[in-house]
Amino acid sequence: MNESHADGERLSVPGHEGAADSRPLTGRRRITLRDVAKAAGVSLKTASNVINGTGRMTDETRRKVQEVISNLGYRVNVAARNLNRDHTGFITLAVPSLTPPYLAELANRTIDAARQRDYSVYVTTYAEGSAQGAREILKSFNSTVSDGMILSMSEVERISPEDLVVDFPLVVVGARTTWGKADHVTPDDVQAAAAAADYLCDHGSTSLSVVGARERFDADALLHTIEGNAELRLRGIIEACRSRHTTLDPRLIGITGRDWTIGSGARTTQGLIDSRVPFDAVIALNDQLAIGAIFTLRANGIRIPEDVQVIGFDNIEESAYLQIPLTTMDSRLDWTAPTAVERILGRISGEVTTPELLTTPSRVIVRKSTRDPIGE
């Protein structure tokens, strides 16, 4: 690291990994390590060693330099220190969009988790499904400005296993597979959906409907799926039903394509009502779809939860503040974000070398859109 003289010359300080940052010594000058050394009556090397916690000196000398640092308000330039240590102090979080509440909360929680480890986060979005999508962002990663990437991979990306073989630390979050080529941090969507279906059945529902399918319902194919939020959640619902020796009626599978908005949930639920196939529960594959479903059910004079129970996924903030607060499956972002940060920092430090799938179960967050247990 170079230290500035008052006249603008630069002095190389061997072993120093910090630099002056902010507090002015006089009206216009910034405090330098030279100022600290002079005030403490020690060499530049000794002052640098105190900053870095290295070197041999008496306790009295170390204490004196630390007092001067405190009194003068000298601050270490963390970015400069990290560059000397061959790290930038930044990680990149790449997401397809920040519009969906789930991804916005993922970004906020990742930033918080990284901050607790003295890291900062660059958040960037990519155009999903285009030439400037996830493939391009993986190819163009710049290790001079970031130490590694946490990638939330869009479900429409055409990613191959080879795309995930990169020369920088990479952790993938979300419902896409990584084929064992990169670390994968994700809640267990199959378990979560099975738990949602079981909860509704345990609370009196006998005819389940689903809002949020991507395409035509094929139960046998879905039982073999390995990726995709909608597909994995449908798989969990099917498995729960089969464990109870029941089946899902294909006429009660509301197809939304990739439109998981409130409006889509409302329109798709109206289609289920218009089909005149009886149902007494809606499993909406995210909370926005569930909010739309609740709107349409109430508009049709259908009581919630007496006539139809509704459950969503992700526990977005709005779900707790509806006129009928929404029962939902926990997103487990409280686990996903810090786990992804911990994993990427392990990659950066070299402590983690083998790709792993890290997963965790979800839980039902009970509110007023579902019934009390039978018998209560």
Q: State the CATH number of the domain containing residue 55.
A: 1.10.260.40
Measured in degrees and rounded to the nearest 5, phi and psi for residue 254 equal -80, 120
Same-domain pairing of 272 and 144: no
Q: Establish if 372 belongs to a structural domain.
A: no
CB 299 within 8 A of CB 269: no
Q: Please tell me what DSSP assigns to residue 1.
A: -
Q: Which of 55, 84, 113 is the last residue of a domain?
A: 84
The model's pLDDT over 238-266, given as tens digits with 9 standing for 90+, comes to 999 999 999 999 999 999 999 999 999 99
- Number of domains forming the structure of the chain: 3
Model pLDDT, residue 31: 83
Q: Please tell me what DSSP assigns to residue 129.
A: T
Q: Establish if 163 belongs to a structural domain.
A: yes
Same-domain pairing of 183 and 203: no
Alpha-carbon span 375 to 166, nearest angstrom: 56
The model's pLDDT over 106-145, given as tens digits with 9 standing for 90+, comes to 999 999 999 999 999 999 999 876 656 888 899 989 888 8
Same-domain pairing of 234 and 346: no
Q: Establish if 164 belongs to a structural domain.
A: yes
Alpha-carbon span 170 to 355, nearest angstrom: 10
- The token duo for 96 is 């397809």
Same-domain pairing of 76 and 122: no
Same-domain pairing of 33 and 101: no
Q: Establish if 371 belongs to a structural domain.
A: no
Same-domain pairing of 134 and 233: no
First to last CA, the chain: 70
Q: Establish if 366 belongs to a structural domain.
A: no
Same-domain pairing of 175 and 100: yes
Q: Establish if 125 belongs to a structural domain.
A: yes
Same-domain pairing of 183 and 195: no
Same-domain pairing of 201 and 310: yes
Same-domain pairing of 284 and 352: no
Same-domain pairing of 136 and 178: yes
Find tokens 């105190």 and name the residue: 50
Same-domain pairing of 164 and 69: no
Find tokens 């479903």 and name the residue: 293
State the residue range of the domain holding 322.
189-331
Model pLDDT, residue 32: 83
Residues lower than pLDDT 50 in the chain? 1-26, 28
